Amino acid sequence: MLTAYKFRLYPNKDQKELFSKYFGCTRVVWNKALELRESYYKEHKNDKQKKGLNYYDTARFLRELKQKEEYKWLNEANSQSLQQALMDLDKAFKAFFKGISKYPNYKKKTNR
C-alpha cells in the first residue's frame, strides 16, 4: 500500500525574498528568450534551412545575457532555475507545434 503526505511550507522573510528574486529572474529569462525566438523567426521565416531556435540556442543566449552589464543581477539566481525556464519554454513551443496547447505567452509579475 502506498501512502502520500502533503506538506505546506511557510518560508520566513529572507526565504520569501529569495524566492521572489528567483521567480523574477526566471520570468525575465522566459520573456527575453520568447522575444528572441519571435524576432529570429520573423527574420528567417523565408529561409528554408532553419526557421526557429531550440533550447540549446537559447541557452547560449542566456550565457551572453548574463555577461551584459545591465543583466549582471541574473547571476544572483542559480543557473538551474534559469535553464529550467528555457526548457519549459522549449517544451511549450513543442506542445504548440503539435497542436496540444496555445502559443506561449509572456510572463507578468502578477502571475502565480
Average pLDDT of the chain to the nearest whole number: 92
Could you count the other beta carbons within 10 Å of the beta carbon of residue 29?
26
C-alpha cell belonging to residue 48: 528554408
CA distance 75 to 67: 9
Where in the sequence is the domain holding 61, given as residue range(s)?
Answer: 13-44+53-98
The total of structural domains in the chain comes to: 1
Of the candidates 33, 81, 39, which has an alpha carbon nearest to the alpha carbon of residue 54?
Answer: 33
Asked if 84 and 26 count as a contact pair (C-beta separation under 8 A), the reply is yes
CA distance 103 to 106: 10
Whether 67 is covered by a domain: the verdict is yes
Whether 20 is covered by a domain: the verdict is yes
- For a pLDDT cut of 90, what percent of the chain falls above it? 84
Asked if 106 and 31 count as a contact pair (C-beta separation under 8 A), the reply is yes
Give the model's pLDDT for residue 111. Answer: 60
Give the model's pLDDT for residue 14. Answer: 96
* pLDDT tens digits for range 21-57: 999 999 999 999 999 999 998 888 787 777 788 999 9
Give the model's pLDDT for residue 112. Answer: 59
Give the model's pLDDT for residue 38. Answer: 93
pLDDT band at 110 (very low <50, low <70, confident <90, very high): confident
